[in-house]
Chains A and B, each alone.
Chain A
Amino acid sequence: MPGSPRSRTALAGLAVALQRLGVILSVLWAAATIAFVAIKAIPGDPVAILTGGENIVDAAERAALVARYGLDQPLAVQYARYVAHALAGDFGQSYQYRLPVITVIAEAAGPTLQLAGAAMVLALGLGLASALVSAGRRGWLRGVLSGLELAVLSTPVYWFGLLLLVLFSFTLGWFPIIGGEGIPALVLPAVALSLPLAALLAQVLRDGLEEALAQPFALTIRMRGVGEAALRLRHALRHAALAASTLAGTLFAGVLGGSILTETVFGRSGIGQITIQAIRTRDMPLLLGLMMLSALASVLINLSLDTLYRRIDPRLRRTAP
């Protein structure tokens, strides 16, 4: 805002920041409450789950465990205590891992972020390339690409993972499954995870591009003698990007939570693995922590999308406060 005093800009900025913080906190609180109610409503004795199927517990140990995890308190007290601790970033101790929930999640977050990040970058690259080369063209390339996309979209990620493993690991031996950490171990899972995302992004981007290329402004630009590539990259892409970035944001949030299948097929550690274990063993503190994490992730992604929209579309910059 040229011309306005700096202090007013800062104040407005602060108001926006506070408002957003308020949004984040209320979403998190709502997520925590819903998760708490849901978990308490499901039947089952947490102590039995806590000690696991293969363990043997007598009455005294049972009492000790119940007291240790505060399960003997009234529900209201458990809820109040849980929310108070959660606000301070303390989600308690995981039942099955017997470690602070934050520690368990932090350990698992690294590999998942790597996988999700790599898959997202790959998906964006592939999707962009496919859409840019094929939008608005009638030839065989468009048919082949969109046919492939449809096939990929209708294939489960799980099956993809297996297929890639059989081909590139078990048969060709290029990417050993026992590689452990590092880039080589990331290639196959990231490809498996990215293909359906790339297909979806490509379809949305292509639609957007084709719509933009049919607009009168495209004709004007062509008349100015601008080349086809420049038209697509510099002008049409900006129009198509709005819808695609919304989709990408949603997909990224989904990938963070939806890496379960990929992680299972490839035997990778990560959020997906601990989520599946937490659900299976009804590890309540960990489940609550994971739900808070996914709520936080989607809020953060949406907030950064808002910022991104303004960069993509100048019209939003003018109307927004």
Chain B
Amino acid sequence: MTNLRDDASPPAPGRPLRRPAILGRLGMLAAAAVCLLGAAARDCRADGPVPGGTLTVGLASDTAIIDPSITGSSITALITRHVVDSLVGQAEDKSFTPWLAERWEVNADNTVYTFHLRRGVTFSDGTRLDAEAVTFNINRILDPKTTSSYAKSLLGPLDTVTAPDPDTVVFRYTQPFVPLLQGLSLPYLGIQSPTYLRDARSTTNTVVGSGPFILERYVKGSGSHLVRRKDYAWGPGFAAHTGPAYLDAIAFRYLPEAAVRLGALTSGQIQAIDEVPPANFRAVQADPRLRVVTRENPGVNWSLFLNTSRGPFADIRVRQAFQSAIDIPALVKVAFFGSLKPADNILGPATLHYDPAVARSWGFDPQRAARLLDEAGWTRTGPEGIRTKAGARLAIRLVYDTAFWGADNLTLVQAVQYAVKKAGFDLQLDPVDAGGFTARTAANDYDSASIYYVRPEPDILRTVFHSAYIPPNGANFSRVTALDAALTQAVGAPDAVRGGLYRQIQAEIIGSAYAVPLYVPAFQLGASKRLNGISWTANAKPSFYDAWLAP
């Protein structure tokens, strides 16, 4: 609690030091003591991690539910990554590392996963982690009464989860399923205390895990406060250290106003913010006390999905013409002030099995766009340069949820609107609210819609291009049915086969112009240079387990 008080007291102007100097000294002494006791060599350097302090992070979005098992919120994932541990960890290079499971075996056809749990792990309420705790969590997620949707989808067609002995958990599938490890590494499938889960009347406001931090409080519309768990003696295999975290506490503060987030950061009141506004990106980088750390999201890039089932986009040539009419790198550079990369494929480069060859196969080609539209019978007429065919104008209705798009996305799409007009398209922006968006997409009353998904596992393409997910059942806004077989086969295929299948799928998506990927979304963390040791999870979220604040 004393650290909270430190935060509340105003920092002296021009002096970034926020903790009493004596604490910093104590921290260094403690680090030295650790060094004497023969800990890892990196702790012995004079500039090594300094324990203590409260890290305050300003977040642009809030979350309605803090229990990661019953929400798909990425903010919940970011916060609870520090509170719940996962069976396995995924390093930034996408390899899997031990965590709560010391080791595991997967059978040859990817249907039986056996995990051997680490011993001596406890939840912060004192409950011991054993195989029953894991099966309780997984069965809770499978139970329809829990209304878990995202966490449940990560488990795929799971048949049973059993605990043959207290240290062993077995997941069984009736058909091959490869993405399990990746799903298990996410906080959505993090293991919570079964004692807590059994007794809690509602889990929406609380979460109790075995992680390096304890959720002290979560207040809707304000933020979450996490305190260090002193007896944390384990950690993910990909982390730089094991044992307790360095920070005493992490305060995630909801500051929806970009100007306020930025002001709080530049004045030194907080040490990190997410969603650095593109217009201020350079200014933050130029500030000698600050820096921007960017991680490109793996998964499906921010794309316009073209409705292949009706209207002008039912014709592949019109879709290809639309794709060729846009100089994506130039537009993205202008709209985001160079702070984000243009997309060159449906998947982001950080995704497993991303194919750079597909990236080189398409691009801006106005002649091709003109030729394809001519071939498709859309011959230019009209004073505005909009093409027509049998009296109909080449009008494209792009339906979007105003709450889902920020101002930057709107700028980008307005630039696209202008660009495709030169080719003869009348791209009409159709803003609606969340309800209007679901109603319009469910009724197939649109020509284009946008979305992106963050996930390093290419199986995410199934969510966007499998016919089972045509609205209202999901986000297959292109209404594609041709990829079902390949996507289904890729879910369980051996790795070598999977790579080939996903290359073929990416080529088909771009070649048939089911979508026009525009940019690679990224996590942009603006941070004080005092904040060291930020690590990144495979789904491009910062983790502060290894982080420490320089005094």
Contact = CB atoms under 8 A, between A and B. Distances in A.
A228 interface: no
A5 interface: no
B147 interface: yes
Interface string B206-246: 00000000000001111100000000000000000000000
B11 A173 contact: yes
A177 B264 contact: yes
A108 interface: yes
Contacts of B453: 54
9 contacts: A44-B439, A52-B73, A54-B150, A99-B205, A171-B267, A177-B264, A177-B269, A178-B7, A267-B222
Interface in A24-80: 42-45, 47-49, 51-62, 64-65, 68
Nearest to A177: B264
A217 interface: no
A302 interface: no
Interface string A165-201: 1100111111111111010100000000000000000
A97 B65 contact: yes
B436 A44 contact: yes
Contact of A269 (B144, B150, B220, B269): B220
B504 interface: no
A58 B473 CA distance: 6
Given A48-B438, A57-B149, A267-B256, A280 B403 contact: yes
Contact of B434 (A170, A263, A281): A281
B56 A178 contact: yes
Rank and list the top 4 A-B pairs by shortest CB-CB distance, nearest first: A44-B435, A273-B221, A54-B72, A269-B221
A172 B219 CA distance: 28
Interface string A93-119: 000111100001001100100000000
A316 B455 CA distance: 69
B204 interface: yes
B178 interface: no
Contact of A263 (B13, B65, B221): B221
B251 A282 contact: no
A264 interface: yes
Contacts of B437: 44
B434 A64 contact: no
Contacts of B144: 60-61, 64
A54 B74 contact: yes
A269 B474 contact: no
Interface in B58-99: 58, 62, 64-65, 70-74
B269 A176 contact: yes
A277 interface: yes
A108 to B, nearest CB: 7
Given A56-B463, A98-B204, A269-B222, A178 B439 contact: no
Interface of A: 42-45, 47-49, 51-62, 64-65, 68, 96-99, 104, 107-108, 111, 162, 165-166, 169-180, 182, 184, 263-270, 273-274, 277, 280-282
B287 interface: no
Contacts of A184: 8
A178 to B, nearest CB: 5
Contact of A56 (B70, B438, B469): B469
B116 to A, nearest CB: 30
Interface in B249-306: 251, 253-257, 259-260, 263-264, 266-267, 269-270
Interface in B412-459: 433-440, 442, 451, 453
Contacts of A265: 257, 260
Nearest to A44: B435
B202 A99 contact: yes
A55 B220 CA distance: 20
Contacts of A277: 62, 64, 221
Contacts of A107: 219-220
Nearest to A107: B220
B396 to A, nearest CB: 21
A180 B4 contact: yes
B149 A55 contact: yes
B428 to A, nearest CB: 18
A267 B255 contact: yes
B508 to A, nearest CB: 22
A56 B253 contact: no
B232 to A, nearest CB: 25
Given A104-B220, A173-B10, A162 B439 contact: no
B269 A178 contact: yes
Contacts of A51: 72, 149
A277 to B, nearest CB: 7
Contact of A96 (B64, B223, B263): B64
A277 B469 CA distance: 26
A109 to B, nearest CB: 12
Contact of A165 (B202, B260, B270, B438): B260
A61 B147 CA distance: 7
**Which of A55, A62, A97 has the most chain B CB atoms inside 10 A of its CB?**
A55
B153 interface: yes
A166 B263 contact: yes
Contacts of B219: 107, 269
A36 to B, nearest CB: 15
B302 to A, nearest CB: 14
Nearest to A176: B269
A93 B270 CA distance: 35
B64 A178 contact: no
Kindly name the residue among A47, A98, A182, A265 whose own CB sees the greatest number of chain B CB atoms within 10 A. A98
Given A43-B435, A170-B267, A274-B221, A179 B8 contact: yes
B298 to A, nearest CB: 15
B222 A178 contact: no
A288 B542 CA distance: 38
